[in-house]
């Protein structure tokens, strides 16, 4: 991976529309959320009033605040502080092997994996930690892996307007490993390529070689 250029001057890009999804209905209260957890405990066949479970509804509600903190954050705002003075740096910037945790929107159980995010700057570059923050915001929402992959790539593309963006995610879904088909060890790879990452096989190959990507993606399954 090539290092980013030396500390350039920050620059703001025009504010874009917020992307946090609308919840549609009024948000339930904390008490209502905890009552729902009690219902699920009863439905699973246990007694929410036994000692070991007494604090569970409040712990689950707190865990949800953490798991789903991404609804309260706007990834576009995170990317808006960009740098233009890059000493002509125009090579690929890659952040690889970023571990993330998300939750599948079909079963609300964890998706755990690694993401690799790359872009080819046009004029602007971004602090590298911001790429990881965008992943974090989108992964702390109910997701499917395909949507998560596309949202990250599209947001970087819209805000930075680079020559290209590539995102590859390799993750295992606990809805596949702990229930249903019970296939532990299986992981799913998704990729979303935009601009030169899609149109230029050399750029795509360079990215995939840097991240040591699975053969299926190398073969052009993008």
Give the interface with Zn ion as residue ranges (CB under 5 A): 104, 106-107, 175
Active-site entry in 101, 174, 175, 218: 175
Active-site entry in 34, 73, 116, 173: 173
Residue 112 beta carbon to Zn ion: minimum distance, rounded to whole angstroms: 12
Active-site entry in 85, 101, 107, 158: 107
Residue 108 beta carbon to Zn ion: minimum distance, rounded to whole angstroms: 8
Active site residue 175: yes
155 in Cβ contact with 76 (< 8 Å): yes
Q: Which is nearer to Zn ion, 72 or 180 (CB)?
A: 180
Active site residue 106: yes
Instruction: Report helix, strand and coil shares of the chain as percent, to nearest 5.
Output: 40, 25, 35
Residue 173 beta carbon to Zn ion: minimum distance, rounded to whole angstroms: 6
**E-assigned strands of 44-187?**
81-83, 93-104, 110-120, 125-126, 142-143, 164-173
Residue 77 beta carbon to Zn ion: minimum distance, rounded to whole angstroms: 29
Active-site entry in 65, 84, 91, 105: 105
Helices 128-139, 145-160: inter-axial angle, 10-degree rounding: 140
Residue 109 beta carbon to Zn ion: minimum distance, rounded to whole angstroms: 6
Helices 30-44, 56-67: inter-axial angle, 10-degree rounding: 110
Instruction: Please provide residue 70's backbone torsions phi and psi, each rounded to the nearest 5 degrees.
Output: -65, -20
Q: Which is nearer to Zn ion, 62 or 106 (CB)?
A: 106
Q: Which is nearer to Zn ion, 135 or 171 (CB)?
A: 171
Q: Which is nearer to Zn ion, 109 or 210 (CB)?
A: 109
Active site residue 105: yes
- Residue 205, CA atoms < 13 Å, CB-side half-sphere: 4
Active site residue 65: no
DSSP letter string, 183-196: -TT--EEEEEEEEH
Active-site entry in 32, 84, 106, 146: 106
Pairing assessment for the beta strands 125-126 and 142-143 based on DSSP bridges: unpaired
Active site residue 51: no
Residue nearest to Zn ion (CB): 175
User: Alpha-carbon distance 32 to 35, whole Å?
Assistant: 5
Active site residue 192: no
Active site residue 116: no
Q: Which is nearer to Zn ion, 59 or 179 (CB)?
A: 179
Residues marked as catalytic: 104-107, 145, 173, 175
């Amino acid at each position: 991976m090539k290092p980013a250029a030396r500390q350039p001057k920050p620059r703001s890009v025009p504010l874009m529309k917020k992307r946090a999804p609308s919840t549609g209905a009024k948000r339930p209260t904390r008490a209502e959320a905890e009552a729902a957890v009690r219902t699920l405990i009863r439905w699973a066949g246990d007694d929410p009033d036994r000692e070991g479970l007494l604090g569970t509804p409040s712990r689950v509600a707190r865990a949800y605040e953490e798991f789903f903190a991404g609804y309260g954050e706007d990834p576009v705002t995170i990317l808006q502080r960009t740098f233009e003075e890059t000493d002509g740096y125009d090579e690929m910037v890659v952040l690889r092997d970023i571990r993330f945790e998300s939750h599948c929107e079909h079963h609300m159980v964890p998706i755990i994996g690694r993401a690799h995010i790359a872009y080819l700057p046009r004029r602007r570059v971004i602090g590298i930690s911001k790429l990881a923050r965008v992943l974090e915001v989108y992964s702390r929402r109910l997701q499917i892996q395909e949507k998560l992959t596309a949202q990250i790539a599209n947001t970087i593309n819209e805000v930075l307007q680079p020559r290209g963006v590539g995102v590859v995610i390799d993750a295992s879904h606990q809805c596949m490993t702990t229930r249903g088909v019970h296939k532990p060890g299986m992981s799913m790879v998704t990729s979303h390529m935009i601009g030169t990452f899609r149109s230029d096989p050399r750029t795509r190959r360079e990215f995939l070689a840097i991240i040591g990507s699975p053969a299926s993606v190398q073969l052009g399954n993008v």
